[in-house]
Amino acid sequence: MELSERKLKILRAIISSYIQEGEAVGSRTISKKHNMGISSATVRNEMSDLEELGYLIQPHTSAGRVPTDKAYRLYVNGLMKSTSVGKYSEQINRILQEEINEMNSFIKNSARILSNFTHYTSFAMTPQLKESKLKHIQLVPVSDKKILLVIVTENNIIKNVVFNMSSSIPQDQLNRISNLLTAKLSGVKLSMLNRELKNEIMHEIYSIRESFDEKLDELMVLLMNTANQYEKVELYYNGLTNILNYPEYSDTNKAKELLSFVEDKESFTKALLNVEGKDLSILIGKENEFEQIKECSIVTATYKLNGIIIGKVGLIGPTRMDYKNVISMIKSLSFNINKLINENYTDIKRSETDG
């Protein structure tokens, strides 16, 4: 059933009031504070209807009402369409640029920014790679003697490793080597790389590289080491204890249970990998798979290089979350992360990658 405009207006007012105050909302509060132009009795009737429809619950007989996950979902869907990049976008851009030269520091910095601006627990992650099948390998010149090794898996996730060369390599040779690596390794799991395959590929690389650079030999070693390096998911946190600042987690046991789950990288990673790879995704309350976070909301955004997902950044907090501010902040952060990544790392040309 589609809600009438009046019911929607009342529901938004209740959600806004509950997010700000953290207390059940009564009809008198709505009619007084939100200038509805209707009587308290009419508001009460509409709230009763919203309760029957599953948008509100009444915690206690004498109390007002609080929004359900269903109400937050309706509210959030509207915000995701209407909320734009926020007023802090330029400030975020300046802070992000401080660590742009080193990818891991850059990712950690993005989590720190999100936590500092929103006061929720934030995270940044790159998904597991070891058992992923390779799709593309690309060598991208970052500067004259610095090359970015980009490993793209079949589920369109990228891992990046920057290494220095003793001399520069022409772009056309890099492209030919990239195409060779892709042809040889497409469909191969990183965990299956072996010395025999490495030697076969290196023999062919020798014929491409006109003046052989000994650093090229390190390329296959680097690929093989990557399998072990990324056996576990990289997951960075910031503001882990911020969750304790919210009354929903004033109960010590409840707070410990949540923090234990979030700090368990394996469990929390599973929860994050269940989130769709959209530019912006929000899971609210019982939409989360794991019991420990069914009273939380998880907001994630992807960051990309040339449209291919590198990883995710996001935050976790109570379902009574300041969604308007959070969505604006994470849109600003995601916009600037993607902008800086694509400005500071030479684009991977799709036509070359697909070759």
Q: Could you give the domains of the chain? A: 5-67 (1.10.10.10), 82-127+233-344 (3.30.450.40), 134-231 (3.30.390.60)
Instruction: Return the structure tokens found at 120.
Output: 């929720």
Give this prediction's pTM: 0.72
Distance CA 39, CA 107 (A): 51
DSSP for 132-162, please give it: SBEEEEEEEEEETTEEEEEEEETTSBEEEEE
Range list of H helices, 156-194: 171-185
Distance CA 252, CA 249 (A): 7
Contact indicator for 47, 17 with CB cutoff of 8 Å = no
Placement of tokens 């990544």 in the chain: 341
pLDDT values of the chain reduced to their tens digit, one per residue, 355 residues:
689 999 999 999 999 999 999 999 999 889 888 877 888 899 999 999 999 999 999 987 767 899 999 999 999 999 988 877 777 888 999 998 888 777 678 888 999 999 999 999 999 987 555 566 788 888 888 888 788 888 877 755 667 778 777 777 778 888 888 888 898 888 887 667 777 777 777 777 777 665 555 656 666 666 666 555 555 567 899 999 998 899 999 999 999 999 999 999 888 888 887 777 678 999 999 999 999 999 999 999 988 766 667 778 999 999 999 999 999 999 999 999 888 887 875 444 333 334 4
